[in-house]
Amino acid sequence: MSIDVEDWFQVENLKGVIARGTWDSRELRVERNTDRMLELMAARGIRCTSFNLGWVADKCPALIKRIADAGHESRKLARQLMQDNGWKLQIVKRKQRAFKVAGLTWIVERTFAWIGRNRRFSKDYEYCMQTSETMIDIATVRLILNRIVPT
């Protein structure tokens, strides 16, 4: 679903009646109406992409941020963040997992747990990095030897 975010006087049908030069003097209703629309969409779990009129984005930058905070995509905000700061806007939907465990991470964690069983690794006793590395080597050699020749 996509929506166009513009105010009542910016409609194409009123182009001949309301001049663009008078937009600044008109009453803004876009924030109130968009906030209401965001509430209705949140209540129903609907997500959309919003196409924001540049004039509205310039006059109501907080509105554009509220649209993104509600989980809706905004190309104008994404473009602005990329140009100003080099940031890429990525909106994580609520039903998506924000964090995924990498494939073989558990193997590394398991190995650290096995090495951590050695009493010497309960605290950081070593003063030199070389000694600490040597103790890790000794612990892994011990693990491998116990697999080859169980005691």
Q: How far apart are CA 142 and CA 111, in angstroms?
A: 13
Q: Are 65 and 35 in contact (CB under 8 A)?
A: no
The token pair that represents 49 in the structure block: 């992409």
The pLDDT of residue 77 is 67
The pLDDT of residue 19 is 81
Alpha-carbon Rg for the chain in angstroms: 29
The token pair that represents 103 in the structure block: 């494939």
pLDDT tens per residue across span 38-74: 888 888 777 777 777 777 777 888 887 788 777 777 6
Q: Is the pLDDT confidence value at 125 over 80?
A: no
Indicate the domain borders of the chain: 2-85, 105-148
pLDDT tens per residue across span 65-112: 788 777 777 666 677 777 777 777 666 555 655 556 566 677 777 887
The more confidently predicted of residues 137 and 68 is 137
pLDDT tens per residue across span 4-41: 677 666 666 677 788 878 878 888 888 888 888 888 88
Q: Are 49 and 1 in contact (CB under 8 A)?
A: yes
Q: How far apart are CA 63 and CA 43, in angstroms?
A: 19
Q: Is the pLDDT confidence value at 119 over 80?
A: no
The pLDDT of residue 9 is 65
The pLDDT of residue 61 is 80
Q: What is the pTM of this model?
A: 0.46
The token pair that represents 53 in the structure block: 């009129």
